[in-house]
Amino acid sequence: MGAKNALICLGGGPSPVINASLQGVLERCLAATDKMREVYCASHGIEGVLLEELIDMRQEDPRELARLRSTPASGAIGTCRYKLGAGREEDFDRILEVFKAHDIGYFFYIGGNDSMDTADKVSELARQAGLELVAVGVPKTIDNDLGDEACTIIDHTPGYGSAARYWANLIREVDEENRGICVSECVSVFQAMGRAAGFLTAASRLADPGREMPLQLYLAECSHSLEFLAENVNRQLHESGRCIVVVNEGFDVGDIGARVDGFGHIEYGASQKSACQGVVNYLNSVKLRARGYANCQVPGVLQRCTGVQRSPVDVQEAYEVGLHGADLALAGESGYMATILREPGAAYRVRYDKVPLRVVANSERFLPESWIAENRIDVTDDFVRYAAPLIGEGIAPLEFENGILRFARLERHMTAQRCPKYVPVGMRG
């Protein structure tokens, strides 16, 4: 394949380190001038491809691009939750039209399982149409729900280490807060993201591997009832005089008045009642011991966009798996997602590998049964050994300007449009 242009998309929800992966991919692509002439980022992922809104990355100030590593969330380029698939075949034709018009020979998709599904479909479509296209995925999801439970496909996903660190330190701080307040008994309830996977809820245990805190985890994998939760809380109040409860956002508290996103997933933040509020109301309506009452905290999007709590390990790995993804593409390895695998041995070390997109597309990983404690409201030491290295030491590089976080400021020069106007199927009517 002669020199072609490269296109990078972000997909799905933001993460604290998604831009570190973007920086890794960009760095290699911008340097590979013999193979990649122009390097584009689609504004807002696949929606930007459909709308032919392509940002010319060669025009950006390299000093600002260097700041991507300390810039959480995906405001720099934009992401989307647009679903390609049945009933939207026109969209696929449009993608190929845009690819041809801009001579795209390299296609990168940074995202979770839905994004890998999209990348796989686009790759297959290009092959059928006889288009020369190297398609490579780069993993990203704070939920850590991509791959297999044995961690043979991927050990963990970039973004998880930072979100885990957010939860671990949050619980550490809340324990300090609760120990300090009134002698009256108090139950602090928190709601963690993660959909059907309990990895984020589980990360709270990293605050206290020695199990000294009155901490209870309600993992998505366990499907507990409110009655079971209330019994546990009352027992904890009897023992400790206080309790910290972390429930997964999908904890069943009856009808929450749910809304769904473009992929048919529940948007828990937009429901009429949060799982956390449901738990708090139940606890405050039943007889809690003595003077106890429960209070409600829903950090919501903060757990996926907070820059200050990013894990230095996560930032570095997100960057390196981006580099590796670009290396795969430059070596002509199409149809793969770059992966992070853990080396055997006591010291934490990783290596970067690859897995066919097809294997991870729409894959889903849950917290393995062997990592759930016998009491069903905790995780095992094996989980702690798995997750502890991911939150890292010290703090990741940060830049402040007058006390406010300073993020990358991109100019977003749009490349000239060459195709007719198009309205994506999912945006019609």
* Catalytic annotation, residues: 143
415 binds a copy of itself (CB under 8 A): no
Residue from 28, 44, 83, 324 that binds a copy of itself (CB under 8 A)?
44
Within 8 A by CB and 6+ apart from 41, the residues are 7, 8, 9, 10, 22, 26, 48, 54, 55, 57, 77
346 binds a copy of itself (CB under 8 A): no
Residue from 181, 286, 331, 419 that binds a copy of itself (CB under 8 A)?
181
99 binds a copy of itself (CB under 8 A): no
63 binds a copy of itself (CB under 8 A): no
Q: Is 247 helix (H, G, I), strand (E, B) or coil?
A: strand
Q: Are 406 and 399 in contact (CB under 8 A)?
A: yes
298 binds a copy of itself (CB under 8 A): yes
397 binds a copy of itself (CB under 8 A): no
118 binds a copy of itself (CB under 8 A): no
312-331 residues near a copy of itself, rule: CB under 8 A? none
Between 286 and 308, name the residue whose CB sits nearer to a copy of itself.
308
Between 336 and 383, name the residue whose CB sits nearer to a copy of itself.
383
Name the token pair of 9.
Answer: 């998309």
- Least distance (Å) from a copy of itself to the CB of residue 253? 13
Q: Are 36 and 162 in contact (CB under 8 A)?
A: no
User: Got the DSSP string for 171-234?
Assistant: HHHHHHHHHHS-SS-EEEEEEE--TT--HHHHHGGGG-TT--S-EEEE-GGG---HHHHHHHHH
Q: Are 303 and 311 in contact (CB under 8 A)?
A: no
428 binds a copy of itself (CB under 8 A): no
Among the residue ranges 103-111, 221-229, 261-269, 364-372, the one whose residues contact a copy of itself (CB under 8 A): 261-269
352-391 residues near a copy of itself, rule: CB under 8 A? 388, 391
Parallel/antiparallel/unpaired status of strands 242-248 and 186-192: parallel
240 binds a copy of itself (CB under 8 A): no
Within 8 A by CB and 6+ apart from 177, the residues are 188
Residue from 281, 380, 415, 417 that binds a copy of itself (CB under 8 A)?
281
Distance CA 270, CA 60 (A): 36
Between 280 and 340, name the residue whose CB sits nearer to a copy of itself.
280
Distance CA 332, CA 134 (A): 6
Residue type, 118: T
Between 69 and 324, name the residue whose CB sits nearer to a copy of itself.
69
Residue from 195, 235, 277, 289 that binds a copy of itself (CB under 8 A)?
277
140 binds a copy of itself (CB under 8 A): no
Residue from 4, 67, 69, 81 that binds a copy of itself (CB under 8 A)?
81
Count Cβ neighbours within 10 Å for each residue of 355-369 and write b for 16 or more, e otherwise: bebbebbebebbbbe
- Least distance (Å) from a copy of itself to the CB of residue 209? 9
227 binds a copy of itself (CB under 8 A): no
Count of residues near a copy of itself by CB under 8 A = 81
